[in-house]
Amino acid sequence: MPSFPMRSTPMVSATIALSMTAFFGLGSAWTSGEAPPELTRGGSMVATTLEAPPAQNGPSLVVLVRHAEKAEAPADDPPLSRQGEARARALARTLADAGITRIHSSDTRRTRDTAAPLAAALGLEIELYDPRDLPAMADRLRALPGRHVVVGHSNTTDVLSGLLGGATFGEIVEAWEYNRLYFLTPRPEVPGTAPASAGFETVLIRFGDQGV
CATH number at residue 118: 3.40.50.1240
Query: Is residue 2 in a domain?
Result: no
Query: Is residue 211 in a domain?
Result: no
**Is residue 56 very low, low, confident or very high in pLDDT (cuts 50, 70, 90)?**
low
User: Residue 210: enclosing H or E segment and its boundaries?
Assistant: none
pTM of the model: 0.76
Query: Is residue 150 in a domain?
Result: yes
CA distances, 180 to each of 83, 136, 177, 209 (Å): 15, 23, 7, 11
Specify the number of domains making up the chain: 1
- Among candidates 195, 192, 200, 132, which has minimal Cα distance to 165? 200
Strand positions, DSSP E, 89-206: 102-106, 126-129, 146-152, 180-186, 200-206
Query: Is residue 15 in a domain?
Result: no
Query: Is residue 14 in a domain?
Result: no
Residue-wise pLDDT tens digits, 20-35: 333 333 333 333 333 3
Can you give the pLDDT at residue 63? 98
Query: Is residue 24 in a domain?
Result: no
Query: Is residue 28 in a domain?
Result: no
**Is residue 211 very low, low, confident or very high in pLDDT (cuts 50, 70, 90)?**
low
Q: pLDDT higher for 48 or 75?
A: 75
Q: Provide the residue range defining the domain that includes 68.
A: 55-206
Query: Is residue 201 in a domain?
Result: yes
